[in-house]
A = this chain, B = another copy of it.
Amino acid sequence: MVLSSHPETLQDQCDLRTVHPDRVQEARAKLMGDHVYAELAETFSALADSNRAKIIYSLMGGELCVCALAAVLGVSESAVSQHLRILRNLRWVRNRKHGRVVYYSLDDEHIKALLELSLAHAAGR
């Protein structure tokens, strides 16, 4: 989409508070509540770590227990456990306890599409 009040002359300066307050007002009006963006950021930040990305990708092949994930990633079980807690709190993964082993699996069908879109974007560089 192109701005209707598209600036074409150099007189269109950026002192928008006096020249284009309407454009700012329009954009402000379209914004949703702050909590929406906070949630968005929180959701994405769960995926913004390479080890968590590896965890999710590994879980696409089926559920895995904590120590298997630790072995796959090559980090401590403690670190994996903490990553899994973050992912679990945001409902990206769920867990199933079997004896003293806890198996984790993906909990949302959106995750695959998100990864694919992100990879597609990164590939276009």
Given A23-B68, A48-B48, A65-B14, CB of A43 within 8 Å of CB of B98:
no
CA distance A24 to B27 in the complex (A): 50
**Identical copies in the complex:** 2
Q: How many residues of A contact B (CB 8 A)?
A: 75
A17 partner, pick from B12, B40, B71, beta carbons under 8 A = B71
Interface residue A79 (Cβ < 8 Å from any Cβ of B): no
Query: Once bound together, how far apart are the Cα atoms of A114 and B112, in whole Å?
Result: 11
Interface centre among A4, A36, A71 (most CB of B within 10 A): A71
Collect the chain B residues with CB atoms within 8 Å of residue A4's CB.
62
Say how far A14's CB is from chain B's closest CB, in angstroms.
5
